[in-house]
Amino acid sequence: MKRGIRILLGAVGIFAAIYWSLMGVEMGDVFARMGEADLVLIAGVLLMTTLNLLIRAAVWKAIVRPMKSVSLYNAFTSYLVGVFSNLFLPFKLGDVAQGYSLGRKTAINKFSLVTTVLVQRVFEIASLLIIMVIIAALFSFPMLLERRNVVLVITVVLAIAFLVLLTFFKEQVITWVERRLQVISPSFALTVKRGFYQFIDGTRAINSLSDITRILTLSFLSWLVQITMALLMAWSLDIRIDFISASIVLLVINIGLLIPIAPGNIGTFQFFSIIALSWFSVAKSKALTFAILFQVVQGIPVIMGGGLSMMMELFADRYRSEKNRNSNTDKTETTV
């Protein structure tokens, strides 16, 4: 029942965001602006989108590394599967597909890998918050210090503190939880204990200062690439903003998307793009054009790369199944 209510509220929110984004906008004007866009700059955004996907895969690889070293190729293809799945699944459920995909290619526990995806999200938000604080400190932009953003900062800090404490005091925590659950069910207590160990195993990267530094550096690089992407997309539509303004636009969009509702963030992406660009006196029709093109261009490498990665996994699974079937057949014939 609760899940149905959440889905209904999410659908209402998506409809409202799309309706508001289109309200008062002549779509003919939007399509005309798309036709006038600078294709060279858009091609640059497309290339940088691919580069950013590779950087984010490298971030994830660095988080997984303390558990087991994996190739950048495996991390990249599995990351693409996750991002591709998020285009069609709400509430970031593609993150589960991302961890499961790498788990099928390596001898790493899948639940631990899903935990590493959670750690990656924490690092992404933490690096985003640091950029927010820097911009708020250097430039007058009160929106970044609104109550909900302060709450977000506190939440992320508490989440990081919880992960650190859980890692350093894991034995004490697990022992305490196990003793209480054994009163209810010894088998359930054992299951929870194993789950705790698998979860904590995925947080190994936060135990090393060198790993944290490497991950944060790559995360900052990813945000710089994304800000440049937003800047080039704006310039392609003759929206004359500077690097700092593009940073603020991107930050506002990502703040709005921190709680994912719609698959692929359809509607919400346009809503927050229009709001962000309106602060720089950009007309609603031009802002909507920016939002549509920016989302579509970012989706092209994801759809192509993610779709190809999923097909390759399906073919690999079919090949393994066929190989095992033939192997079992040969064993049966040998026995006979």
Mean pLDDT over the full length of the chain: 79
What is the C-alpha to C-alpha distance for residues 289 and 257, in angstroms, rounded to an integer? 19
**Domain extents in the chain:** 43-317
Mean pLDDT calculated for residue range 285-309:
91
| Cα–Cα distance for residue pair 235/38, rounded to 1 Å | 8
Q: What is the mean pLDDT of residues 234-262?
A: 83
User: Can you tell me the mean pLDDT for 32-41?
Assistant: 91
Question: What's residue 107's pLDDT?
Answer: 81
The DSSP H or E segment spanning 106 is none
| Share in percent of the chain as helix, strand, coil (round to 5) | 85, 0, 15
| pTM exceeding 0.85 | no
State the pLDDT confidence band at 272, using cuts at 50, 70 and 90: confident
**pLDDT bracket for residue 159 (50, 70, 90):** low
Count other C-beta atoms under 10 Å from residue 231's C-beta: 23
pLDDT digits (tens, 9 = 90+) for 173-201: 667 766 777 777 777 777 767 776 777 77
Digit-coded pLDDT (tens) for 49-59: 999 999 999 99
H or E element, residue 118: helix 110-138
The CA distance from 123 to 202, in Å, is 14
pLDDT at 142 over 70: no
Query: How far is residue 246's CA from residue 16's CA, in Å, rounded to a whole number?
Result: 26
CA 295 – CA 293 distance, rounded (Å): 5
The helix/strand count (H/E) of the chain reads as 13, 0
Half-sphere exposure (Cβ direction) of 40: Cα atoms closer than 13 Å:
0
- The gap between the terminal CA atoms of the chain, to the nearest Å, is 56
pLDDT at 187: 75
**pLDDT (mean) for 275-285:** 88
| pLDDT, tens digit, 9 for 90 and up, residues 80-107 | 999 998 888 766 778 888 988 898 888 8
Both tokens assigned to 7: 């889905």
CA-to-CA dists, residue 4 to 1, 88, 97, 240, 326, angstroms: 5, 18, 22, 44, 45
Reported as a pLDDT band with limits 50, 70 and 90, residue 1 is very low
Place of tokens 């005091």: 169
Cα–Cα distance, 292 to 307 (Å, whole number): 21
